[in-house]
Amino acid sequence: MGMRSLSTTTLVGAGIFLLLVAGLLMSLATNNEQRELLSVSNFDECVAAGNPIMESYPEQCRTQDGRTFVNERQSLQQPPGMIVANGCAVAGCSGQLCVSADEAAEIITTCEFRAEYACYREASCEPQTDGRCGWTETPELQRCLSNPPALEAPAEMVF
């Protein structure tokens, strides 16, 4: 009987030891993942770590813990196709905003397109009576916004 309880005790002890080793290894792996996540400190590192890039201008990358990094190479440049006149600029990924030219490079929007955004293609982005930039409310713009053109289905969208 003494031999049998020694084997059982040995097996139980070995099992506990293996559980402790497995717990230690899991803890080290979790700490390593957290260290890698916290080591991300800019847009390029965020992308290299495999995090998603949001559809915005400038591009943004979001880490798993919710931190966001902006592609500074894009925000330092005037966005492609930005129209600037009289101190006002058309901004937003879909050209739906009229803002001060000074703040246009800082504007970040999502990149969806709504039917009414097409109305702004022919509208005037200029200083309004209050001195702030905005869309001039012409009868044509008001008609278009109340009955926007139908969206055309794009053949293929590439991002």
- Residue 53: the pLDDT is 86
- Residue 158: the pLDDT is 47
- Residue 140: the pLDDT is 93
Q: Which helix (H) or strand (E) holds 29?
A: helix 2-38
Is-contact 143 111, C-beta < 8 A? Answer: no
Q: Which helix (H) or strand (E) holds 102?
A: helix 101-104
- Residue 76: the pLDDT is 47
Tell me the longest C-alpha to C-alpha distance in the chain: 100
Rounded distance between C-alpha atoms, residue 7 and residue 53, angstroms: 57
> Could you give the angle at the alpha carbon of 84 between the alpha carbons of 82 and 88, nearest 5°?
115
- Residue 155: the pLDDT is 46
> Could you give the angle at the alpha carbon of 51 between the alpha carbons of 97 and 111, nearest 5°?
20
Whether this model's pTM surpasses 0.85 = no
Which tokens belong to 71?
């592609």
**Which amino acid, residue 138?**
T
Of 92, 83, 78, the residue nearest 125 (C-alpha): 83
CB atoms within 10 A of CB 11: 10
Give pLDDT tens digits along the chain (159 positions): 455 566 777 877 778 888 888 777 776 555 545 555 568 889 899 999 888 888 776 788 888 888 888 888 775 445 555 667 778 988 888 888 999 988 887 788 888 888 898 899 888 999 999 999 999 999 999 999 999 888 765 544 444
